[in-house]
Structure 1
């Protein structure tokens, strides 16, 4: 569960996100969100320059059916457990820096398998720490990473990913240890 103070994204007195269907039950919303984003993930993703705008377009693509703020920078401070994500007033600058670095790294093209896994893990870690959106960061990040890996000639196979291990690796990377995440990405490269 995310911790947020004075969350305008939620219905008053609840932790349920305001949504296009006016669903007030958290579990019902979570189930519908999963169903709708899975359906959107099966559709072609928007094309783009693998930049910040493209990342936002991926989030919008996945969540457009549910949230009017899909693809937009969150405006509230957000934490999960001991993980405190980037303050909203710094998100846009941090994204410019991150995606500028990705561009400088030629979008991770022409790297060895090991080099790609290391650079992709570092990119994904920073993108997660920024945590651009109020909800759906993990799905947008993974979807964007799939586009990035395909473009770099290092496509990833999600069938080789253990979701629980990936979550543990993302948490460890948040606190500076990218080894598990790098290994998971390395093993996913087809």
Structure 2
């Protein structure tokens, strides 16, 4: 026999599935590209000098797949690679003006989908929802790498690291790590 808590879980599952589908469709349509390319645009636009290794962490894909994503962005005139050190071991992805334009469309499409979910919610309802979402996000972060993947389409101007529950969870797992989710010591991926 189903209980109210089972119903809550079922409703949550339906919302998560529906929102995922809407977000995927909206950002892919806005970018005119797959989800990985759309996420790469969003992250590279928000983090100046995003390294290939950090981009790989955000996308949750292999190194060769990350290289293919960046190759496609370069081929379309949306990004260029820059070496960050003399020995060429660390490479960053820098968006062109066209890449920044596409990234703004991706983030706007994401925001539009999410705004439609809560059209008439009160300040109190949003505060309760914020607390629940923060708790859910913290629970989802079972490993620091998961934080990158979860935040791959986030608008960091709205949820900066100092207020981010994902950042807090990652720092709790790696207390000796430098501040900031994207600060990766000794990164040497190209």
Alignment TM-score, normalising by the size of structure 1: 0.30
> Which structure would you say has the larger RCO, counting Cα contacts within 8 Å and 6 or more residues apart?
2
Q: Hey, which of these two has a bigger chunk of helix by percent?
A: 2
Alignment TM-score, normalising by the size of structure 2: 0.30
Q: State which structure, 1 or 2, has the greater radius of gyration over its C-alpha atoms.
A: 2
